[in-house]
Structure 1
Amino acid sequence: MSNDLEGSATAAAAPPAPGLGRTGRTRPRGALVGRIARGALLVAVLVLALFLLAGQLLAVLPVGWWSPFLHVFPIEILLLVVAIARDALGSWTLVLAALALAAGVSVLRRRGRRRLPLALSAISGAALLLALVTTTVQVISVHGATGRWFVFSPATPASAVGRGPDKTVTYATLGGERMKADLYLPEAASATAVPLVVSIHGGGFISGSRGPTVYTSWLADHGYAVLDVDYRLATATEHTWNTADADVGCAMTWATAHAAAYGWDMDRVATFGGSAGGNLAINVAYQANAGTLKPSCGTAGQLPRVNAAIAAYPVVDLSTSVGESAYGTESGDRYVGGDPAQYPERYTAVDSANQISKDAPPTLILQGSRDHLVFAGHTEAFADQLTTAGVTHRYVELPFLDHAYDSVSAGIGAEATRALTLPWLKQYIGG
Structure 2
Amino acid sequence: MVVARTRADGVGSRVFAVVGAVVVGWIALVLVLLGVGALLPGLGLLGAAGTAVAATTAAPSVLIGLLAVGGALLVRRRFRRTGTVLGAAGGVGTAMALVIVVGFWIAAAGAGATINPFRALVPTSPFGDGPDEHPVYSRTASGQDLHAAVYRPATANAPLMVYAHGGGWVEGSELDRDRDMRWFADRGWLVVSVEYTLASETVHTWDIAGPQLACALIWAAERAPAWGGDPARIALLGDSAGGQLATTLAYQAAEGSARSSCGGTVPRVAALAVQYPAVDPVGAYDNGFSIGDDPKLDTRFLGRAYTGGTPAEVPDHYRAITGTTLLPPTAPPTLVISPDDDSVVPPNGVRAFADRAREAGIDVTLVRLPFANHAYDTGATGSLGNQARLTITENWLRDHLR
TM-score above 0.5 = yes
Q: In the TM superposition, what whole-angstrom CA distance separates every residue of 1:133-167 from its partner, at most 9, and x where no partner exists?
A: 22222223333322756544515232656553111
> Aligned pair 1:203/2:170, yes or no?
no
Cα distance between partner residues in 2 of 1:57 and 1:149: 24
Counterpart residue number, 1:216: 181
* Residue 158, structure 1, aligned to residue 129, structure 2: no
Question: Does residue 343 of structure 2 align to residue 378 of structure 1?
Answer: no
The CA distance in 2 between the partners of 1:23 and 1:259, in whole Å, is 81
Q: Is 2:383 the counterpart of 1:416? A: no
TM-score (norm: length of structure 1): 0.81
**Distance of 1:281 and 1:252 partners within structure 2:** 10
SS at match of 1:154: helix
Q: Does 1:59 align with 2:38?
A: yes
1:180 and 2:147 aligned: yes
| Preserved CA contact (<8 Å) 1:340 1:347 | yes
Q: How many residues matched?
A: 391
Query: What is the SS of the residue equivalent to 1:99?
Result: helix
**Counterpart amino acid of 2:69?**
L
Structure 1 distance, partners of 2:107, 2:391, is 13
Structure with higher Rg: it is 1
Aligned to 2:320: 349
Please say which of residues 260-269 and 384-393 is displaced more in the overlay. 260-269
1:92-131 equivalence runs, <5 A: 92-114=60-82, 120-131=86-97
Determine if contact 1:170/1:178 at 8 Å carries over to the other structure.
yes
Superposed, 1:62-73 pairs within 5 Å as: 63=41, 65-66=42-43, 69=44
Residue equivalent to 1:281: 246
Q: Work out which of the residue numbers 284, 287, 310 in structure 2 matches 1:339.
A: 310
Closer, same or farther: CA 184–140 of 1 in aligned 2, 3 Å: same
8 Å Cα contact 1:365-1:395 kept in structure 2: yes
* CA shift for structure 1 position 203: 1.2
In the TM superposition, residue 122 of structure 1 has moved relative to its aligned partner by 4.2
Deviation per CA, 1:176-227, whole angstroms, max 9, x where unpaired?
A: 3221111011133x3xx43210011111111211224453112212221000
Are 2:234 and 2:269, in contact at CA under 8 Å, matched by a contact in 1?
A: yes
CA offset at residue 362 of structure 1?
0.5
Is the 8 Å Cα contact of residues 86 and 93 (structure 1) preserved in structure 2? no
Shift of 1:416: 2.9
Q: Percent identity?
A: 33
Give the distance between the partners of 1:355 and 1:422, measured in 2 at CA: 26
Match of 2:399? 427
Amino acid paired to 2:56 = A
C-alpha contact (below 8 Å) 2:20/2:71 kept by paired residues = no
Question: Residue 56 of structure 2: SS of its match in structure 1?
Answer: helix
Residues 223-242 of structure 1: CA deviation (Å, up to 9, x unaligned) = 21000111111112212222
The residue correspondences of 1:320-339 to structure 2 (distance < 5 A) are: 320-324=283-287, 325-326=289-290, 327-339=298-310
Q: After TM superposition, give the deviation of residue 361 of structure 1 in Å.
A: 0.8
Is 1:146 the counterpart of 2:117 in the alignment? Answer: no
Aligned residue in 1 for 2:25: 46
Cα distance change, pair 87–290 in 1 and its aligned pair in 2 (3 A): same
Which TM-score applies when normalising by structure 2? 0.86
Partner of 1:316: 279
1:113, CA displacement in angstroms?
2.6
Q: CA offsets, 1:65-120, max 9 Å, x none?
A: 24xx4xxxxx5xx8656544332234111111222233234323312334xx5664
Q: Quick check: 2:51–2:341 contact (8 Å CA) kept in 1?
A: no
Alpha carbons of structure 1 residues 308 and 106: separation in structure 2 relative to 1, 3 Å: same
- 1:260 deviation in Å? 4.3
> Structure 2: which amino acid aligns with 1:403?
H
Structure 2 unmatched runs, 5+: 291-297
Give, as a single letter, the amino acid of the residue that structure 2 aligns with 1:347.
Y
Q: Any idea what SS the aligned residue of 2:146 has?
A: strand
Q: Which moved more, 1:367-376 or 1:239-248?
A: 367-376
Say whether the 8 Å CA contact 1:310–1:364 is kept in structure 2: yes
Aligned to 2:215: 250
Deviation at 1:394, TM superposition (A): 0.6
1:8 aligned partner: none
CA distance in 1, matches of 2:85, 2:326: 53
Q: Which moved more, 1:117-126 or 1:165-174?
A: 117-126
Per the alignment, residue 12 of structure 1 pairs with none
C-alpha distance in 2 between matches for 1:41 and 1:247: 57
